[in-house]
Structure 1
Amino acid sequence: TPLEFEEDHLPGARNLPVLDNEQRVEIGILYRESPFKGRKLGARYVSESIARHLAGPLSGVEPGWKPLIYCWRGGQRSAAFATVLRSIGWRARTLEGGYKAYRRFVMDDLVRRFSNPELQFRIISGLTGTGKTRLLEALSREGTQVIDLEAMANHRGSLLGTVGTQPSQRRFENRLHAALSKFDPCLPIFAEAESSRIGSVYLPPALWKQFAASRVIELTLPVPERVKLLLEDYRHFLQEPETLSNLLELLGKLRGHAQVSDWQAQIVQGTWPEFVTSLLENHYDLCYRRPGSPTSNYQAPAEQFALPDCSMESYHQAARQLRESEAAFSS
């Protein structure tokens, strides 16, 4: 159903539901009263849906099509659809066990991958605004293996980090698995130092444990450059000052209502550099758990990169230096 597909789906899957959300509920209720009546109504709905798909999205599909059909449990929904497609001449297959079997495979395979002694992560740490994500982007362009957990979670990992609707926990883990499946386990994977939760999704415990034992590289950047970077990356708040002001209300208990009022006054006045500087010094920097400290999950930094500015050239230069130091460390 559309709701099942929204919660999670196989990578690259296209949704052609044979039951909509309401029909699935209706049939479930009727089936408990009378299995015969439930199956009969289900057959009617499924037949109508398949007919619509054949007249619509499948109308131009060529004879050589070889679809893999699946539903939630690999039961009658996918079996009925595949039977019709095969009778037409397409070489349709069904996924045994459906989505639930795929889900079990993903979770088992994640545990297997995280248990691999050859797997190595490199953790990029640093204060808010030092450009950790930019460094990951530069590393990726240089050909390094990178996982951007914040992009997978659709969240930047802070109070102001919401960038849209977050995926479900299942969908997040699916994205993580898809990314790891493309990597060479013998080569290091770079990731940003995250907390165990990014917005509403959680890192798998086995990954969190791997991060705790991983080599850490700390990134530093002068405060004026951090302010400049944040104004570039969060420019949408400059057009939505009311949204920003409302979010800051949530910091009243932690930082005091007087401090929040000062920030809101700076927003009204449009003194953005002063506002961001104060927010860094009086909130974000106070929240930072330096790797190696008793409150951090991460080891003390093995290396530190002090960037002079927030230009992409600086991050590409740091990425090249990191690749060189990584080669020296591994040899």
Structure 2
Amino acid sequence: MKYPALLNFRDVLPQLDEFDCIIDARSESEYALDHIPGAINCPVLNDEERIRVGTMYKQVNPFEAKKVGAGLVAKNIARHIEEKWLDKPREWKPLVYCWRGGNRSGSMAHILAKIGWPVVQLDGGYKAYRAHVSEALSEPPAHTFKVICGTTGSGKSRLLEVMAGIGAQVLDLEQLAAHRGSVLGHLPSQPQPSQKMFESMVWHTLRGFDTSLPVFVESESKKVGNLRVPDAVMAKMRQSPCVSLSLSRENRVRLLMEDYEHFTQSPEMLNAQLDCLVKLHGREKIDSWHGMANSGRMPELVAQLLAEHYDPAYLKSIDRNFVQFDKAEVVELGDISKDDFLAAARRLHPPSA
């Protein structure tokens, strides 16, 4: 094969995991919005440089813009080679892409190939990749889902984490979305990814699974924070067999106190989120909950939120949205220790599975 090789995404996909490096040659803001999972960002033009060259292209003329752009591209590619790839052997095989698979990735691929590396350039670039992801997620997944259901605080996310740790196939949508899935689910230390990046991670996770084995997933609503679960994935989840995770309310309060410790340290942040519930519960009730938060009565507040908000909402929606819930396998947790979750995980995913 002659290098740089120009391949479309359909041809690249079967060998996507075999590349030694996937290089996103776009700017840092393009990369942050979405990228092929596992790719590293090595801009041939950064955000500021793209604006500079683009402005010159429009206000001066294309020739002058290309001269300036070529100098910047050459400097940036040289810097990436010196900082990242001087130690790579001749057999090192990178995949390079940009927005459409044109000048930016073409420049980098050309230089890497001239050095002697078997570099592949993605024809159609990120746009071709994104079209494939959108098409793949528009079809129902080929996998068999098992949906972990349970009231708020019953430990669904902890169970999924333990199951993943013992080798089960887990699609943890809340982890991918960086959100715990309720009005209080925002993680202060971690912003949510873009919708496109979320979809990329869902696609990437599912493509790595064995379709002959079940995929465990939590009973999410259509949105996890600000992000929407792909419609075909959600439809498949709602038709799938369920597991009902059971935990006493006392232990659920304990678990939530651990998982939402940041709210106990910042009542102001908690109260701001509680204000989102005014339309459902009225100003008087929300003010009462504010008072509990401000006075440090967090266990009492959590118990009331479960009894008056979360549990009624769960019971109202679960049967309607997950059609096999009435036949769910019940898994009871006696406590919230690691051993309790490990025992539950092994029940659902025995060592021989």
Assess same fold via TM > 0.5.
yes
Shift, 1:316, TM fit: 1.9
The residue type equivalent to 1:161 in the other structure is G
RMSD of aligned residue pairs (Cα, Å): 2.2
In structure 2, the residue matched to 1:191 is 217
- What's the TM-score, normalizing by structure 2? 0.84
Shift, 1:243, TM fit: 1.3
> Is 1:88 paired with 2:112?
no
In structure 1, the residue matched to 2:324 is 299
Distance 2:341 2:226 in 1: 29
Shift, 1:137, TM fit: 2.0
Asked if the contact 1:291–1:299 (Cα under 8 Å) also holds between the matched residues in 2, the reply is: no
Distance 1:93 1:322, change over 3 A: closer
Deviations 1:226-256 (A, max 9, x none): 0000011111222222211222222222211
**Residue number among 170, 174, 186 corresponding to 1:162 in the alignment:** 186
% same residue: 42
Asked if the contact 2:153–2:256 (Cα under 8 Å) also holds between the matched residues in 1, the reply is: yes
- What's the TM-score, normalizing by structure 1? 0.90
Shift, 1:297, TM fit: 4.6
Higher deviation after alignment, 85-94 or 271-280? 85-94
Distance 1:205 1:310 in 2: 33
**Residue number among 124, 138, 141 corresponding to 2:148 in the alignment:** 124
Secondary structure of 1:293's aligned partner: helix
Distance 2:83 2:157 in 1: 42
In structure 2, the residue matched to 1:205 is 231
In structure 1, the residue matched to 2:160 is 136
Q: Which runs of 5+ in 1 are unaligned?
A: none
The residue type equivalent to 2:251 in the other structure is E
Higher deviation after alignment, 80-89 or 204-213? 80-89
Q: How many aligned residue pairs are there?
A: 322
Deviations 1:30-75 (A, max 9, x none): 4345333333332122122223323433444444432211111100
Asked if the contact 1:292–1:301 (Cα under 8 Å) also holds between the matched residues in 2, the reply is: no
**Residue number among 24, 29, 35 corresponding to 2:50 in the alignment:** 24
Deviations 1:289-326 (A, max 9, x none): 456634x25433322223222222222222222346x9
Distance 1:39 1:199 in 2: 43
Distance 1:89 1:49 in 2: 19
**Residue number among 236, 255, 264 corresponding to 1:229 in the alignment:** 255
Deviations 1:150-184 (A, max 9, x none): 00001010111111211111111111111112211
The residue type equivalent to 2:346 in the other structure is R
Q: Which runs of 5+ in 2 are unaligned?
A: 1-26
Shift, 1:283, TM fit: 1.6
Distance 1:297 1:73 in 2: 41
**Residue number among 104, 113, 137 corresponding to 1:110 in the alignment:** 137
Secondary structure of 1:256's aligned partner: helix
In structure 1, the residue matched to 2:298 is 272
